[in-house]
Amino acid sequence: MSGLKTLRIGPLASIQDQGRPGQLQQGVSCSGAADLLALAEGAALLRQGADLAALEMAGIGGLFEATGDLRIALTGAPMQASLDGEPLAWNASHQMQTGQKLEIGAARKGVYGYLHLGGGIDSEVLLGARSAHLMSGLGQLVAAGDLLPCGPDRSREVGLGLLAEDRFQGGALRIVEGFQSELFDAEVRARFAHTAFKRGSRANRMGVEMISDGAGFAAAGQLNILSEVILPGDVQMTGDGKPFVLLREAQTTGGYPRIGTVLPCDLSKVAQAQAGVDLHFTWVSLEEGLALQAKHDAMVKALPSHCKPLLRDPAMMQDLLSYQLVGGVISAQADPFETGDNT
């Protein structure tokens, strides 16, 4: 069986897929990849389903050896990557031969980088998914010596690249009001949207702290409201009125009040914000939020058609030339893939 042997690995790397939606009644968090868009990009680059599992690497990658011929793709936070010492393009798919070594270094921007295998990582399915969810005792961190086995790979195509959406430098987070928004005065909600936040130092796959100057954003009766269902993207205020944006790995219920819910399509931006990055919230109506999400979903659906052959892969050069002659889309002057950083 083909796979990648982990020779060295960063401290917070885990196997992630789209998680476990549909089990809230049993207290099972949705969880899954912190940057779902990166998961979809990897699937598009490898011409496979977005439901397959990949390796999520927080901040830094590792060193891996191929135990058989296999395909890989690299997405999410751009990291230094090389194959037997030769630099590899990020946001691209590549071929690995048996015994070749893949080295992935530190993130140049963003937090979570992803290493995808052709056929996905075929690890054990726990409560319907391969995602590690440490607090729930599901799976564990990937450690040196671990083998990441490939599932059945139905494609052979490699050497594709993708212009990835830049969600690595913070910016605006679109937010809709929810069932607890009215616990916050209109003045507090307005001030919330006019406040410049930075991502705080407390952040993990469950949630991300937002810090700002000035007063907090407290709700009335904050410590005594009933625990209620948590949705990914909910912005929870702790006792001192400090906002945390909850991510997909958050617990299923919580008693701290939530001022609103960040759109699912903006959660990659939250997860990928490094400490100190500027972020702010923009209220949108439910209708606007649905339209923005629909637009994002359409973009994700179209990802496979946006994967184009990398210019520097000689094996694909013939195809690329014919593509350029026919489509005339790729510009030699503005080639995003030359730098190896396609974000």
String marking each residue 163-192 x if it binds another protein according to CB under 8 A:
-------------x-xx--x----------
Q: Does 27 bind another protein (CB under 8 A)?
A: yes
Asked if 32 interacts with another protein (CB under 8 A), we say no
Which residue from 130, 173, 133, 172 is spatially nearest to 149, judged by alpha carbons? Answer: 130
Residue indicated by tokens 């007063």? 215
Q: Which is nearer to another protein, 105 or 178 (CB)?
A: 178
- Of 82 and 251, which has the nearer Cβ to another protein? 251
Residue 268 in the binding site for another protein (CB under 8 A):
no
Please list every residue from 230 through 259 that binds another protein, using CB under 8 A: 231-234, 239-240, 251-255
Q: What gap in Å lies between CA 217 and CA 174, rounded to an integer? A: 18
Q: Does 326 bind another protein (CB under 8 A)?
A: no
Shortest distance (Å) from residue 255 CB to another protein: 6
Nearest to 3 by CA among 60, 64, 52, 50: 64
User: Buried b / exposed e across 50-86, counting CB within 10 Å, b at 16+?
Assistant: bebbbbbbbbbbbbbbbbebbbbbbbbbbbbbebeee
Question: Mind giving me the DSSP string for 284-301?
Answer: --HHHHHHHHHHHHHHHH
In whole angstroms, how close is the CB of 126 to another protein at the nearest point?
Answer: 6
26 or 201: CB nearest another protein: 26
Closest CA to 312 of 88, 57, 76, 4: 88
Applying CB under 8 A, the span of 15-23, 39-47, 95-103, 142-150 interacting with another protein comes to 15-23
Q: Quick check: helix, strand or coil at residue 88?
A: coil
Between 157 and 228, name the residue whose CB sits nearer to another protein. Answer: 228
Q: Which of residues 113-172 bind another protein (CB under 8 A)?
A: 126-127, 135-138
As a whole number of Å, the CA-based R_g of the chain is 21
Using an 8 Å Cβ cutoff, are 14 and 56 in contact? yes
Q: Which of 119, 149, 98, 148 is closest to 47 using CA atoms? A: 119
Q: Which of residues 279-298 bind another protein (CB under 8 A)?
A: 286, 289-290, 293
Could you say whether residue 270 binds another protein (CB under 8 A)? no
Q: Using CB under 8 A as the criterion, which residues of the chain lie in contact with another protein when the complex forms?
A: 21-29, 126-127, 135-138, 176, 178-179, 182, 223-229, 231-234, 239-240, 251-255, 261, 263-264, 286, 289-290, 293
